[in-house]
Structure 1
Amino acid sequence: MPRMRKIVGVTVVAAGVVLPTAAVLPAEAEAAGTPAFVAYHAASAGRQAAYARTLKRQGYRPITVNVADGGRYAAVWIKGGGPAWAIYQGMSGTGYQRRFNEYVKKGYQPISVSATGSGGGAVFAAVFEKKSGKFFAKHGLTATQFASVNQKAASTGYTLTSVDVYGSAASPRYVGVWTANSGGSWYYTYGKTAKQHEAEFAKRMKQGFRPTQVAVGPDGTYSAAWRKDGLRSWAHYIEMSSSGYQKRFDQQRARGLHPVQVNSENGRYAAIFVKT
């Protein structure tokens, strides 16, 4: 049963075990048939880079990355094959655009893009995968521009597959990735307070939608992508502190769910879990 409620407060986790460094999934979890994954957050830039090197050697691949205030990183990695990939952190807006251009020429697409900070001090992180299919990505969007892009995307057969909010509370900016819609209705919301997001959640649930992306803004509001895809085993939480995210992580792992997106800003966390 999907849930979302306000709670409070991870360091580095691998299958529910708090670890000082990135590590492979415990053998007993693999034997139980749960997905081999590693999730961590509140990692410094140095630790994030070290985790990425270690996890790559151990056969993991990133599916989502988040950079938040203070340059702290969160990510989820899964074990197994797949297309070629690349992950970059600590980029300026110009640096992100340069990497984007470089990898698009090589046949890659961004699958997860995150940013924090404002103006020339904004910091970006991104995961790229080598894959085909139509897509487009934009950053530096105002709220009005973000809404306009989403409306155009929906009318031309695209769906929002990655979103984050950065900038300042007074002047938020949006970064997103839109890919060709493979089927199913979708919707987006932005600039919602926690209470408004909860109301939207209840409304969309009744209509058969679930959140597939959620982002915490610098002003504490929430933006999200909602999709009617028929998935039955999932969970969604907002308004979590670091320890609260750990608590929900442990609870959902016990149910056989793992995070597929983690997002934070100013110490507030949001996450989406699914069963695979």
Structure 2
Amino acid sequence: MTLLPLQSVDPLHIGRFRLRGRLGSGGQGIVFLGEDDAGACFAIKVPHPHALTDAETRARFAREMEIARRTAPAFTARVVEAKLEDDLPYIVSEYVEGPSLRDRVERNGPLPPDAVHRLATGLATALSAIHQAGIVHRDVKPDNVLLGPDGPRLIDFGIARLPGGSLTASGQLVGTPLYMAPETFEGQRATAATDVFAWGALVAFAAQGRHAFGGGEIAAVMRRILSEEPDLAQVPESIRPTVAAALAKNPAMRPSAVDLVIRLIGSPATPESGTWVGRKRGKKPAVIISVIAAVAAVGVTLVLVRLVDPGPGQTVNPVSQRADTEVITQAPVDTPAPEPVTTSPATEAVTTPSAPLITTQPRNTPDVPIPSGLKSSGMEAYYEVSEAEHAKKVKSLTARDFRPVSLSITNRGYTALWLKQSGPDFVTAHDLSAEEYRTFWQKWSAKGYQETVATAGPDGQVFASVMERRDGAHMAYFGLTAADLRRRNEEALVNGLIPAWITAYGNRFNVAWVPGDTADWQMTINQTRAQYQKEFDKRMDAGYIPEVATIGTNGLFTAMWRPWNSAFYSYTGLSAEEHVRRREALLAQGFRLARLSATQVGDVVMYSLLATKES
């Protein structure tokens, strides 16, 4: 990195560091080279003098410090210290001795093919770590990549965004036009897919010594990015398809950063065991993924990938005419049933008596009660009916303009809630094997559908699904651990996706996300009954609703929470009689069922519901 002399207005010391010169200057501030008393060198970033009194500038610095501290240092520059309260706020980070990618290419020309491959893999890994921490960089470009002696480092998080946060005015373009994705020119919010596009443009520059969409006036560059294909003629053939995929116009068609790493490191023939996982990426085949290593220093889960051909047919009940996902088989866990969880309405401090404990009667005996069905104005529910009866109800309710909003399976059959409401076209399928389920999802995902309701039997062998025609990206994963679930949820929220449904089997989770308002969604995982009750009471007081919740076959509670400003009731883990009693009482008070489910824990079946009322 070229060291420029200090200017007359520059300080000679910042904190305990003596300044030796300027490393660079940009829109977000000035970066100096400083050294401590021991002679160690550091990069020190300060705001421009004219912005020192600007509250937003200090807020940006505080956010940059937080983001830098949340990212793994293996492919970024580690933050050493920071002072934000002083007259001159500053951030001190590790000094990476080496040129920027731009300087290297402009001085020596394109990188050799092997060096391009190493650069591409290192930066994709860096983005994977950043995105899994819930961060969007938003300014991936050659100037922000330093070629250190131990590999590339991605720097400068000055305009990066944390989940749910923004310091950018609506409609304002943020970034460097040569590396900005098409959707940002159209006013859309930057997501992880935006960083992936910039990665593709950056790798093309490193390989060719020229920009993928040419140079010139900003307006001309924007036009080419929006409407023309990139120039990738001299990108190494081994990675050209991956770079081209990253530069797709539609962000939903781009690989994730983890997908980039997978493609760049190659894939073995067949993983011994693993988790089916999918993400909407147009018409590509399903992938089967097995986690093989966790890179602790980077915080990225590396995975092996094998493309598989579509399996045999499926049972489908289409209404009019999408997700390459599969399933991990998990044996049911025989654990005692938890006590039922009871709650109070969000708008009143009403004490609700606890429901009685559920008796552990054998699930297939006639004397085990099943809730009576519901037929109310615009609502119909049925409980644990046979596959044949469920198929009849699907056909009948669909013909009467009802839509399925909840679906669950126990060893006794299907439980579902249907509401009479308008919406996009949808398809349903039930009584599917894992292979049939994968084929169903792949087929309808390719047709532009997203999964909004799904479930599996307690043995993980029988599946049912509802998919709606929707625009935008879509994520779904099966067999996630709790840690993976947290990371994937952060990734989804960064990409503007919210949970559509979640189920749990033992210590594994199946979940899907669809486009929606991501403002302040939060998650709690694997809580006991007492922990969940306490969590509910706390979040109810703060104005949150358990929009998506489940009880696992291990009897633990997992929920996705979001803000809610109207009355609601949520009951989890009720007996059949108590479920019906509370359901009827809520309907009499003018509440409307939003979700209901039947969950099997060992030999016990318990029932849950969520009811809402508009203010």
TM-score past 0.5 threshold:
yes
Instruction: Provide closer, same or farther for how the CA distance between residues 101 and 242 of structure 1 changes in structure 2, counting only shifts above 3 A.
Output: same
Question: How is 1:1-276 mapped onto 2 (pairs within 5 angstroms)?
Answer: 1-2=345-346, 6-8=354-356, 10-15=371-376, 25=377, 36-68=378-410, 70=411, 72-118=413-459, 121-166=460-505, 171-230=506-565, 232-266=566-600, 267-275=605-613
Deviation digits for residues 159-187 of structure 1 (CA, Å, limit 9, x no counterpart):
22211113xxxx43211111234242111
Kept in 2: contact 1:146–1:174 (CA 8 A): yes
Distance 2:525 2:407 in 1: 20
What is the DSSP-based 3-state SS (H/G/I as helix, E as strand, rest coil) of the residue aligned with 1:274?
strand
Kept in 1: contact 2:408–2:599 (CA 8 A): no
Distance 2:538 2:404 in 1: 32
**What percent identity do the matched residue pairs reach?**
24
Instruction: Provide closer, same or farther for how the CA distance between residues 101 and 238 of structure 1 changes in structure 2, counting only shifts above 3 A.
Output: same
Distance 2:387 2:451 in 1: 20
Distance 2:423 2:413 in 1: 27
Distance 1:94 1:243 in 2: 37
Distance 1:129 1:214 in 2: 21
Out of 78-87 and 152-161, give the one that drifted further. 152-161
Distance 2:420 2:451 in 1: 19
Larger relative contact order, structure 1 or 2 (CA cutoff 8 Å, min sep 6)? 1
What is the DSSP-based 3-state SS (H/G/I as helix, E as strand, rest coil) of the residue aligned with 1:98?
helix
Q: Residue in 2 aligned with 1:32?
A: none
1:85 partner letter = F
Distance 2:529 2:495 in 1: 30
Instruction: Provide closer, same or farther for how the CA distance between residues 183 and 117 of structure 1 changes in structure 2, counting only shifts above 3 A.
Output: closer
What is the DSSP-based 3-state SS (H/G/I as helix, E as strand, rest coil) of the residue aligned with 2:430?
strand
Distance 1:213 1:5 in 2: 24
What is the TM-score of this pair, normalised by structure 2? Answer: 0.39
Deviation digits for residues 36-95 of structure 1 (CA, Å, limit 9, x no counterpart):
111122222222112111212222121221123x05211111124321111111122322
Out of 43-52 and 140-149, give the one that drifted further. 140-149
Kept in 1: contact 2:528–2:557 (CA 8 A): yes
What is the DSSP-based 3-state SS (H/G/I as helix, E as strand, rest coil) of the residue aligned with 2:389?
helix
Instruction: Provide closer, same or farther for how the CA distance between residues 200 and 149 of structure 1 changes in structure 2, counting only shifts above 3 A.
Output: same
Out of 219-228 and 74-83, give the one that drifted further. 74-83
Distance 1:134 1:7 in 2: 41
Q: Please list every run of 5 or more consecutive structure 1 residues that lacks an aligned counterpart in the other structure.
A: 16-24, 26-35
Deviation digits for residues 198-232 of structure 1 (CA, Å, limit 9, x no counterpart):
111012122221110111110111111100143x1
C-alpha displacement of 1:233: 2.1
Distance 1:229 1:185 in 2: 11
Distance 1:103 1:219 in 2: 32
Out of 181-190 and 234-243, give the one that drifted further. 181-190
What is the DSSP-based 3-state SS (H/G/I as helix, E as strand, rest coil) of the residue aligned with 1:174?
strand
The CA RMSD measured in Å over matched residues stands at 2.0
Question: Paired residues, what number?
Answer: 249
Q: Please list every run of 5 or more consecutive structure 2 residues that lacks an aligned counterpart in the other structure.
A: 1-344, 357-368
Q: Residue in 2 aligned with 1:31?
A: none
Higher strand share: 1
Kept in 1: contact 2:431–2:462 (CA 8 A): yes
